[in-house]
Structure 1
Amino acid sequence: MTPSDVLVEAFSRLPAIAVRAVADLSVDDLAWRPDDEANTIAWLVWHTARGQDVQIADLAASDQVWTADGWAESFALPFPSAEMGYGMSPADVAAVRVDAELLIGYLEAVTLRTRGYLDDLDGASYDDVVDEAWDPPVTAGARLVSILNDCVQHLGQASYVRGLLDRR
């Protein structure tokens, strides 16, 4: 397997994790939070997809799926289209009220875009420096691992919140 094959396999598993977290939930269930400052399942899945979308688009020097494919309009969130969730307030988190089908559709579209980027990436490109603001500078390979790690963490959190919701 090539590095791209491994990453395609890993990123391709994300939508299934999200599907299990949102299965059979209403918009109200997706917006449930265990306390007033906790993230909701809807916000966690949306933020997972947005973070992946923003960072892959940056690596690929391409448009984000969010804006290019009309997802921002479909979600109709009360934020600027550039918003991805980083540093949002509890009130902003609560404003992400959408259905499961929309959440999964967007994550699947982003996953397809990620796969296309990885399919086109040659082995030497993993060593390309993409951010010199760090010591050591961040390579494309390190950034991809970071993106994947963030996605897995947030979907794990969504799954945990789902477990709390189911037990309440």
Structure 2
Amino acid sequence: MTPADLLTDALSRVLDDVEAVLDGLDDATLVRRAGPDANTIAWLVWHLTRVQDDHVADVAGTGQVWTEEGYAERLALPLEPHDIGYGHTSEQVGAVRASAGALLDYYRATHARTLAFVATVSPEDLDRVVDTRWDPPVTLGVRLVSVVNDCTQHVGQAAFLRGLLRG
């Protein structure tokens, strides 16, 4: 199994989970909270997609799907185009309102772009330093594992929240 095969499998599982979480959800359920300041399903899916889009675009040396393919305009969220959700306040979480279809379209487009990039990754590429702001510096392999980890955590939270809200 190549690094590309491994990453494709991991990220395809995230896609399956995102599809399952969003399946049949109405707009009200997407923005319902388990507590006053809790994250919503809409925010969790938007955030995991933004992180994947941002981080993969950075290491691939490309633009983000969010801006290049017009998803920032389509979703029309009251957030800056570079915003990926880190440190959001309760109000900012509540401002992320989009249909399940729009969120899924954005995730699928980001997923497709991500898979196109990971298909090019060789074993040697995984050791390439992509971020020197950390000690030790972050390699491509570490960054891609981080993306998968972030996505699986957030889609798992969204799945839990879906079960909690829908019973």
Normalised by the size of structure 2, how large is the TM-score? 0.97
Identity of aligned residues (%): 46
Q: Which amino acid in 2 is paired with 1:14? A: V
Q: Any runs of at least 4 consecutive aligned residues in structure 1 with deviations exceeding 6 A, and if so which?
A: none
What does residue 77 of structure 1 align with? 77
**Does the 8 A contact of 2:2 with 2:122 survive in 1?**
no
Distance 2:83 2:108 in 1: 19
Secondary structure of the equivalent of 1:13?
helix
State the SS of the aligned residue for 1:33: coil
* 1:111 corresponds to: 111
> Given residue 145 of structure 1, which amino acid in structure 2 is its aligned partner?
V
* Preserved CA contact (<8 Å) 2:3 2:121: no
Aligned to 1:163: 163
Q: CA RMSD in A?
A: 0.8
Residue in 1 that maps onto 2:15: 15
Gaps of 5+ in 1: none
Query: 1:118-133, aligned counterparts within 5 Å?
Result: 118-133=118-133
Q: Which position in structure 1 is the counterpart of 2:92?
A: 92
**Count of aligned positions:** 167
Q: Distance in 2 between matches of 1:95 and 1:137?
A: 34
SS in 2 for 1:28: helix
Which sections of structure 2, spanning at least 5 residues, go unmatched?
Answer: none
Aligned to 1:47: 47
Deviations 1:115-165 (A, max 9, x none): 011111222111001122222221100110011000000000000100110
Matched position secondary structure for 1:134: coil
Code of the aligned partner of 2:156: G
